[in-house]
């Protein structure tokens, strides 16, 4: 098998990165935009020692689960990898991804439950982050999403997975910015003004918070005037902020954000709690699916009367706040100062007085205390927990760990380590937070 070869294959399953898997003479071939049960003609694009990559040239016999993508930009945009597969089968494939990770990485034999579907599969994405660039000749601004495996921007004017108002805001910014002499960002040269447009949209009341990420360390008159123009154009925009990021980096937001017009937050409601979400605040992009997760975790904790709960990697203490009325005491630990500040405001807003906030690294905090908690909620970033963090969690937890993860691979790795330490995995429940992608959220219940 060589690069450029054209072959006919049957797609067996889906990889953990959303590509189809075929085998040629025993060697694995990862095929883009392929669905299990497809018979396809493919072209080999890369050959490695243990596997090869390929793209589909022709679908000879389509899988029964193939559907027409509802987004006209699906073939060129890299955001919704699985939109050509019917939604119920997407869920089945995601369950398989979790099962494969548990078996091959974690050596975990706990059955994986069927995923809980997202309540909405269109207009579900309430946080939008659009990179911005500029054409060389016409100097036209481009804003959208990257093509697959590239940093080439697809200029998207309609995205059906985000609220329609977001399309209107992005289009206004794209067309109006040149009038204020605001240029798009050149990634190679680290030049230009506007790097990203970040929008927070409230599923609760429809309000929007806009953040313009600029390639600078300070604002200017033209940027302030432009922010005011955005604010005045849209009734639902409650605030426009400027975020400063002049570093040559793939990180979207810089460390400093100022509010130029209006307020620097929107309200969101989860279960019966009201949250204040800032431009740089971590909060789930799919609030209605997130609500299913919070409800699930809250139900699990309610099985333990008057539980003392540790909410680790807490962000704005979303879990701590939503379970506060069925817990005796919650300690929410988060190292981001802005998130802690927002959490304080949310506690006051909801008149909650049994949640203690700690601005600290989780591992360092646990090393500094002697007390134990009945239940620990772990909600780490995609990289998962360090072994040191897991060791400290075990030292300070009496009954149960609830591990919330957006990465099946690192979850499986961490569960394997906890099992070696004597824990048992009671259940693994997937939740579909990121529809039409290979990503899947999971909640694992671990008995100590």
- From the candidates 71, 80, 359, 406, which is the catalytic residue? 406
Q: Give me the half-sphere count of Cα atoms (radius 13 Å) on the Cβ side of residue 115.
A: 29
CA proximity to 403, closest of 322, 244, 293: 293
Phi, psi of 375 (to 5 degrees): -135, 140
- Give the 3-state secondary structure of residue 253: coil
Task: Let me know: does 287 contact 268? Beta carbons within 8 Å.
Answer: yes
Distance from the Cα of residue 256 to its chain's centroid: 22
Q: What would the two tokens of residue 339 be?
A: 């998130």
Rounded to 5, what percent of the chain is helix, strand, coil? 25, 35, 40
Helix axes 408-420, 387-395, angle to 10 degrees: 50
| Residues in Cβ contact with 207 at an 8 Å cutoff, skipping those fewer than 6 apart | 201, 236, 237, 238, 266, 267
Helices (H), 179-279: 221-233
d(CA 385, CA 408): 13
Helix (H) or strand (E) holding 39: strand 39-47
| Residues in Cβ contact with 39 at an 8 Å cutoff, skipping those fewer than 6 apart | 8, 9, 10, 11, 59, 60, 61
Pairing of strands 194-201, 127-134: antiparallel
Q: Is position 406 annotated as part of the catalytic site?
A: yes
DSSP calls for 309-375 = EEEES-TTTHHHHHTGGGEEEEEEEES-HHHHHHHHHHHHHTT--SEEEEES-HHHHHHT----EEE
Q: What would the two tokens of residue 267 be?
A: 């309200």
CA proximity to 304, closest of 324, 326, 319: 326
What number of H helices and E strands is found in the chain? 9, 22
Q: Which residues are catalytic?
A: 406
């Amino acid at each position: 098998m060589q690069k450029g070869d054209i072959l006919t294959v049957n797609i067996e399953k889906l990889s953990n990165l959303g590509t189809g898997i075929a085998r040629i003479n025993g060697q694995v071939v990862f095929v883009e935009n392929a669905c299990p049960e497809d018979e396809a003609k493919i072209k080999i694009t890369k050959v490695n020692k243990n596997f090869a990559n390929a793209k589909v040239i022709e679908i000879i016999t389509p899988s029964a689960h193939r559907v027409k993508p509802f987004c006209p930009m699906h073939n060129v945009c890299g955001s919704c990898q699985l939109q050509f597969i019917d939604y119920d089968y997407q869920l089945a494939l995601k369950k398989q991804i979790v099962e494969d990770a548990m078996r091959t990485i974690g050596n975990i034999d706990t059955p994986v439950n069927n995923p809980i579907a997202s309540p909405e599969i269109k207009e579900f994405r309430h946080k939008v982050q659009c990179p911005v660039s500029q054409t060389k000749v016409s100097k036209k601004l481009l804003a959208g999403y990257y093509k697959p495996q590239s940093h080439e921007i697809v200029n998207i004017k309609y995205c059906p997975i985000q609220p329609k108002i977001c399309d209107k805001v992005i289009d206004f910014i794209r067309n109006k910015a040149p009038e204020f002499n605001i240029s798009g960002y050149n990634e190679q040269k680290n030049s230009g003004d506007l790097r990203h447009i970040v929008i927070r949209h409230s599923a609760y009341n429809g309000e929007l918070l806009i953040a313009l990420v600029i390639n600078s360390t300070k604002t200017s008159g033209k940027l302030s005037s432009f922010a005011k123009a955005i604010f005045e154009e849209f009734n639902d925009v409650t605030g426009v902020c400027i975020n400063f990021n002049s570093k040559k980096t793939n990180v979207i937001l810089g460390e400093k954000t100022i509010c130029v017009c209006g307020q620097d937050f929107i309200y969101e409601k989860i279960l019966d709690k009201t949250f204040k979400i800032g431009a740089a605040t971590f909060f789930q992009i799919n609030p209605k699916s997130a609500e299913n997760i919070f409800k699930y975790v809250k139900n699990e904790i309610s099985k333990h009367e008057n539980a003392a709960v540790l909410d680790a990697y807490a962000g704005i203490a979303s879990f701590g706040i939503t379970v506060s009325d069925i817990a005796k005491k919650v300690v929410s630990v988060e190292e981001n100062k802005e998130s802690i500040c927002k959490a304080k405001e949310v506690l006051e807003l909801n008149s909650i007085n049994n949640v203690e906030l700690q601005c600290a690294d989780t591992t360092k905090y646990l090393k500094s205390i002697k007390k134990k908690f009945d239940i620990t909620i772990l909600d780490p970033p995609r990289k998962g927990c360090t072994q040191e963090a897991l060791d400290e969690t075990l030292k300070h937890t009496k009954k149960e760990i609830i591990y919330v993860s957006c990465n099946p691979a690192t979850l499986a790795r961490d569960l394997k380590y906890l099992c070696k330490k004597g824990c048992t995995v009671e259940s693994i429940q997937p939740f579909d937070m990121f529809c039409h992608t290979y990503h899947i959220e999971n909640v694992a219940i671990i008995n100590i």
